[in-house]
Amino acid sequence: MTRTIAISALMMVPFVASSQTPAGRDGASDRRVEEEVRQLSGGEVEALLASDTQTLRRTWSDDFVVTNPLNKFVTKEQVLGLLTSGFLAFKSYHRRIEYARVYGKTVVVAGSETVVWAGKMPMAGKSSALRFTAIWMKQGGRWQEVARHANIILEQ
């Protein structure tokens, strides 16, 4: 699993490097952008808890993709379908952003999450600790999440 994460991180380097913040960018502007994305991330958690697909439709880019904790690669429409069907649901969801970095029109966010699964998930009723990375981009004048990776932290 560590090798997969390392390979995924290396694959992201050209993407992130190509959108580096221009020299002389205003630090206050970056802090405002970071705060806006942090708020949107919090709204995403609230929407997931409520199975609020309308909010998630606005939050996620049309080309949003996820490598989820079930080790499946899914699209925006697939995730929305899982929520609508009741397969994907959460009893509780707590996200801690430990890293956020602005690269012009791209923001990388990473951290940890603790969830209690619900719905028809194989892990319904159980708690999981997760690590996640999310990529947000300014599209059509607003910030949207374009990609996410989350994996379950296995107990050692």
- The pLDDT value recorded for residue 156 is 58
Question: Residue 11: inside a domain, yes or no?
Answer: no
User: Could you give the number of structural domains in the chain?
Assistant: 1
In terms of DSSP H, where are the helices of the chain? 2-17, 27-50, 53-59, 76-85
Question: Residue 100: inside a domain, yes or no?
Answer: yes
Question: Residue 146: inside a domain, yes or no?
Answer: yes
Range of the domain at 131: 25-152
Q: pLDDT band for 19, please (50, 70, 90 cuts).
A: very low
Question: Residue 118: inside a domain, yes or no?
Answer: yes
Question: Residue 125: inside a domain, yes or no?
Answer: yes
Burial 4-32 (b: 16+ CB within 10 A, else e): eeeeeeeeeeeeeeeeebeeeeeeeebee
Write out pLDDT tens, residues 34-52: 999 999 999 999 999 999 9
- The pLDDT value recorded for residue 64 is 98
Question: Residue 12: inside a domain, yes or no?
Answer: no
Question: Residue 66: inside a domain, yes or no?
Answer: yes
Over residues 124-128, mean pLDDT: 95
**CATH number of the domain that 123 lies in?**
3.10.450.50
CB 97 within 8 A of CB 34: no
